Structure 1
Amino acid sequence: MSKYLSAEQVCEIVPGLTKSGLAQLRFTGKGPKYRKPTPKTVVYLESEVIEWVEGTARIGTALAAV
């Protein structure tokens, strides 16, 4: 079973990610799934954070021709 991570812990495992950056990703719906067990508590499942990072894998920087 995956463990729950705080925003600080997510930022520790994703290089370059800050708490404010993570909050912005949460606001725009572009970040990893999260849970809010209380109005002021946000937690993430470690496996879903890793899945989210893996989902950003790229093989090149060129945009596809339209």
Structure 2
Amino acid sequence: MPMATLYMKLGNGSIPATKPGKRYCLYQDELDKWLETNRKNPVPLTAEEENAAILAGNKRKPNPLNW
């Protein structure tokens, strides 16, 4: 990323940072969290996470007559 783009994103607040004086302070945990949420290719889910997401997204109850 070009330095001008970095400073623009720091200035408008899209990258989490603090500026106590002339310099920006970037915290590792905040930067890692920001990178994970703004990732273009998401990290693939594990099988357990995928099953939980499928079960959470299922809104219909099964019809007891078809059991």
TM-score after normalising by structure 2: 0.49
More helix by share: 2
TM-score after normalising by structure 1: 0.49
**Relative contact order: is structure 1 or structure 2 higher (C-alpha 8 Å, sep ≥ 6)?**
1
